[in-house]
A and B are shown apart, each in its own frame.
Chain A
Amino acid sequence: EAQVTQNPRYLITVTGKKLTVTCSQNMNHEYMSWYRQDPGLGLRQIYYSMNVEVTDKGDVPEGYKVSRKEKRNFPLILESPSPNQTSLYFCASRQGTDYGYTFGSGTRLTVV
């Protein structure tokens, strides 16, 4: 089944403890992207990647890092999480600019 897989689905962590949310797609898509979704603010793009080793900032990149060493994987790294990064995170991929994104099921992160 064609899908974007994120792990974990739920995560509670403490301020300052580094964490990684993994994202993998099995559709051989070129483009991948991370979003966070907050009530009243909607989906906001954190980072995106247009190919292996090609990444760029979205609208809210502060406090996040990404890497794209393989086409299928696009992990999101929070090196020193803070409570304002508590949110619902989505990874997504698409074949090209003429296609819609396929989204993962989301990761609900709580930073205390």
Chain B
Amino acid sequence: EDQVTQSPEALRLQEGESSSLNCSYTVSGLRGLFWYRQDPGKGPEFLFTLYSAGEEKEKERLKATLTKKESFLHITAPKPEDSATYLCAVNNFGNEKLTFGTGTRLTIIP
């Protein structure tokens, strides 16, 4: 059974204070690992897809990296508008099942 564990559950940072969110996963065959951002009362918003160990992707202040067992979402010099819950999910080869972690709730304090 595929499993995704995200840590920490919640993170409070000062504006400009860089940090990383962790996503550990167990999957029999990884088709892709996804990062999403979710604002309160809204649906998740797609950020990145990573496919193989060593891959990195960037978008503004966010950079996602992937190893064989975990993924990191690095946030550089965050701003208050980066406050949200960040979700990680894995897709297994052979089916369309997508398994999500429970997310990291990020708060950036001005």
Task: Identify the A interface with B (CB < 8 A).
Answer: 4, 31, 33, 35, 40-45, 48, 50, 56, 58-59, 90, 92, 97-106
Q: Give the chain B neighbours of A4 by CB distance below 8 A.
A: 43
CB-CB contacts of B38-54 with A at 8 A, as 1s and 0s? 00011111111100000
B42, A100: Cβ atoms under 8 Å?
no
- Are A48 and B96 interface neighbours, CB within 8 A? yes
Check if B44 sits within 8 Å of A97, measured CB to CB: no
Given A97-B31, A100-B49, decide whether A59 and B99 contact each other with a Cβ distance below 8 A.
yes
Measured between beta carbons, the chain B residues less than 8 angstroms from A97 are 31-32, 91, 96
A43 B100 Cβ-Cβ under 8 A: yes
Instruction: Give chain B nearest CB distance to A55 CB in angstroms.
Output: 10
Interface of B is mostly: strand
- Chain B residue total in the interface (Cβ 8 A): 25
B100: chain A residues at CB < 8 Å are 35, 42-44
Are B97 and A42 neighbours in the complex by a CB distance under 8 Å? no
Binding site for A on B (CB under 8 A): 31-32, 34, 36, 41-49, 87, 89, 91, 95-103
Give 6 nearest A-B pairs by CB, closest first. Answer: A103-B43, A100-B46, A42-B102, A43-B100, A48-B96, A42-B100
- A98 x B43 contact (CB < 8 A): no
CA gap between A50 and B100 in the complex, in Å: 19
Q: Quick one: given A103-B45, A104-B43, are A98 and B98 in contact (CB under 8 Å)?
A: no
- Which residues of B lie under 8 Å from residue A59 when comparing CB positions? 97, 99
Which chain A residue lies CB-closest to B36? A100
B102 CB contacts on chain A under 8 angstroms: 40-42
By a CB distance below 8 angstroms, the chain A residues around B49 are 98-100
- CB pairs A–B below 8 angstroms (13 shown): A40-B102, A41-B102, A42-B87, A42-B100, A43-B87, A43-B100, A45-B98, A48-B98, A50-B96, A90-B44, A97-B31, A100-B36, A100-B46
- Residues in B with CB closer than 8 Å to A56 are 95-96
Q: Is the CB of B98 within 8 A of A33?
A: yes
Minimum CB–CB distance for B64 against chain A, Å? 12
